[in-house]
């Protein structure tokens, strides 16, 4: 094979490799850039958490101007508080519950079914632009104790009226769907939610008592040390006076002997 033919084959390999890599990137892009939800810290079962819905803009010529997040009806959340997002209006929708919830001794007859963010434009810009993303924080609770995750179905609307429905639920062992719904993973209960922490409180009280005892002991030791120091100083002072008097007396006697 000639050198020119070999060079052409190498060139073809590089071109084919580049095309394959580009195809992989195109396929991977939409799958990785979807609406998702993550907690700040942990979302423990039976507790409260702050969660963020992350919304990337997938279009080069349109802006995202609306996000609707639907809450799971099988595990209703009675407390949902949105954090203000500059440039966005927020609407919280509640529905009556078929079965009332008990929370902190109170009966809850309705729960949040949907939260909607709508871009207002103005100084902050018309929603989420190309190549940008936005986070939408919520404080939610009380999280269920009998579930490992919560599925939120979301709708993303662009300014050209296109609506992307992130509503497909993933099945265990299967590939991720094209438009997966945001999923919040729940962790094991920690006991530090509302009404918890009795053991921690007892430990804190025990530590406080120990600290007080150590403080009193240190104070007593310091006082004893101060008394000992005062006594030593007094003894040394008396000895110094005696030595001084003896020295004066010796000097007087020595002077008389010389005069004699």
HEC readout, 65-128: EEEEEECCCCCCCCEEEECCCCCEEEEEEEEEEEEEEEECCEEEEEEEEEEEEEECCHHHCCCE
Helix/strand/coil for 129? coil
Rounded CA-CA distance 145/27 in Å is 37
What pLDDT score does 120 carry? 93
Helix/strand/coil for 151? strand
Cα→Cα distances 182→92, 140, 154, Å: 18, 15, 7
pLDDT in tens, the chain (260 residues): 555 555 455 455 444 444 444 443 333 344 457 999 999 999 999 999 999 999 999 999 999 999 999 999 989 998 999 999 999 999 999 999 888 877 767 788 899 999 999 999 766 568 999 999 999 999 999 999 999 999 999 999 999 999 999 999 988 778 889 999 999 999 998 765 543 333 333 343 344 444 444 544 444 444 444 444 555 555 555 566 656 655 555 554 555 555 55
What pLDDT score does 172 carry? 79
What pLDDT score does 219 carry? 47
**Runs of H (alpha helix) within the chain:** 3-32, 198-259
Please give the helix or strand (H or E) that residue 38 lies within, else none: strand 36-39
Q: How would you classify residue 127: left for phi > 0, otherwise alpha for psi between -120 and 50, otherwise beta?
A: left
> Tokens 């000895």 — which residue?
239
Return the DSSP state at 2.
Answer: -
Cα→Cα distances 65→62, 130, 145, Å: 9, 12, 35
Rounded CA-CA distance 60/2 in Å is 46
What pLDDT score does 15 carry? 43
For 214, the token pair is 């150590």
Residues 229-235: contacts with CB under 8 Å, at least 24 apart: none
Angle in degrees, CA 62, 67, 72, rounded to 5: 150
């Amino acid at each position: 094979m000639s050198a020119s033919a070999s060079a052409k084959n190498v060139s073809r390999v590089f071109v084919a490799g580049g095309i394959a890599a580009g195809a992989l990137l195109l396929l991977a892009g939409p799958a990785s850039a979807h609406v998702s939800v993550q907690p700040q810290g942990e979302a423990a079962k039976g507790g409260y958490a702050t969660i963020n819905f992350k919304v990337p803009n997938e279009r080069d010529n349109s802006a995202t101007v609306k996000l609707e997040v639907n809450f799971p009806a099988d595990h209703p959340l009675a407390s949902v508080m949105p954090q203000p997002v500059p440039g966005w209006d927020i609407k919280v929708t509640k529905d009556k519950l078929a079965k009332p919830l008990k929370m902190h001794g109170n009966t809850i007859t309705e729960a949040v079914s949907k939260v909607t963010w709508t871009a207002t434009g103005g100084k902050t810009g018309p929603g989420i632009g190309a190549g940008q993303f936005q986070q939408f924080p919520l404080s939610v609770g009380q999280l269920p104790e009998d579930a490992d995750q919560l599925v939120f179905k979301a709708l993303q609307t662009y300014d050209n009226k296109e609506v992307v429905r992130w509503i497909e639920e993933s099945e265990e062992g299967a590939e991720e769907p094209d438009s997966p719904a945001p999923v919040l993973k729940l962790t094991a209960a920690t006991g530090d939610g509302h009404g918890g922490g009795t053991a921690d409180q007892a430990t804190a009280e025990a530590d406080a008592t120990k600290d007080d005892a150590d403080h009193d002991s240190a104070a007593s030791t310091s006082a004893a040390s101060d008394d000992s120091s005062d006594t030593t100083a007094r003894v040394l002072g008396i000895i110094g006076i005696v030595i001084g008097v003896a020295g004066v007396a010796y000097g007087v006697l020595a002077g008389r002997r010389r005069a004699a």
